[in-house]
Chains A and B, each alone.
Chain A
Amino acid sequence: MTTDTQKEMTVKEKKELTTPAEQTRPGALFVPNVDIFETDKQITLLADLPGVTGESLTIDLRDNILTLSGEVQPFEGPDEKDLLIEYEIGKYYRQFTLSDVIAQDKIDAQLKDGVLRLTLPKVEKAKPRTITVSAG
């Protein structure tokens, strides 16, 4: 258990993304909250994506840019009327630049209870070599 668990949680407003490019489809775009931490072997990214399913999440990696994009379907039935709306539902979108030390073919992604866990293993460092000079 961490010290965090004793803390009282507060509401944070969802951060809306201001995109440089205009979207072709309407709808709000939110920036998911992430934790990123690094150990000697790997970098792990945890992202809160409530309401995103495995099928609606796309993780794209090209030119060292990792893009997370998750669609959230509206949950409300057609006959429902809003009484109290405290948060909005929209797409999640966030980009990260990765360095070359990531073994890009070994990236692992798991989505559970609305939290994405992305494991990015580091490339094994080039082994140091000793070069012997033969005297001629």
Chain B
Amino acid sequence: MFLPRVFGMPTFGSMRPFEELSRMRRQMDRIMDSFMEPRLQGLRSGVFPAINLTEDDNHFYLRAELPGVKAEDLDIQATGRNVTISGERKLATEDASARYHRREREGGRFSRALAMPKEIDADRVEARMQNGMLTLKVPKSESAKPRRIAIGS
């Protein structure tokens, strides 16, 4: 089929005029992203809660900020090398006559699964909630622990 290219715009040549638009949008997104330059790449996961993961020789440490979340509203599961944190942040219902000046805190359900980089001992994961800060101490499995190799002379 022959369609004349009006003003040399390839858009009209294709039967899907929105393709060009979505291509432009993707380009714009990329430009915007490069301007924003997020300092923390991990934030792009976009899944609540934000997690900091560290390790030492024997454990992984997973820490999340969960202010106002009670321990009984949290459900933590470990299977294989995956750790799942799910729960609900309940904001107390205040007096009906209360007039809000600011409302920045949010409540809601959340669920996040994170795969540990190495095999873990799922039976011995310890969880602690302190001052609104969740800490998971995840032991590495024996096979995942680093071994010092002696150099034979």
Contact = CB atoms under 8 A, between A and B. Distances in A.
B23 interface: no
B21 interface: no
A48 B67 contact: yes
Nearest to B95: A39
Contacts of A39: 95, 97-99
B75 to A, nearest CB: 14
Interface residues of A, number: 45
Interface string A28-68: 00000111111110001010111111000000000000000
A51 B131 contact: yes
Interface in A59-110: 75-77, 79-88
Nearest to B110: A9
B36 to A, nearest CB: 10
Where chain A touches its partner, the secondary structure class is loop
Contacts of B93: 1-2
Contacts of A85: 40, 42, 52-53
A12 B97 CA distance: 29
A80 B55 contact: yes
B121 to A, nearest CB: 17
B105 A46 contact: yes
B54 A50 contact: no
A114 B55 CA distance: 25
Contacts of A82: 52-54
Contacts of A10: 46, 48, 106
B88 interface: yes
Interface string B88-106: 1111011101111111111
A84 B89 CA distance: 24
Contact of B65 (A8, A35, A51): A51
A2 B100 CA distance: 15
B48 A9 contact: yes
Interface string B69-92: 110000000000000000011110
B65 A87 contact: yes
12 contacts: A9-B49, A11-B47, A37-B98, A40-B97, A48-B68, A50-B133, A51-B65, A80-B61, A87-B52, A88-B40, A113-B69, A114-B133
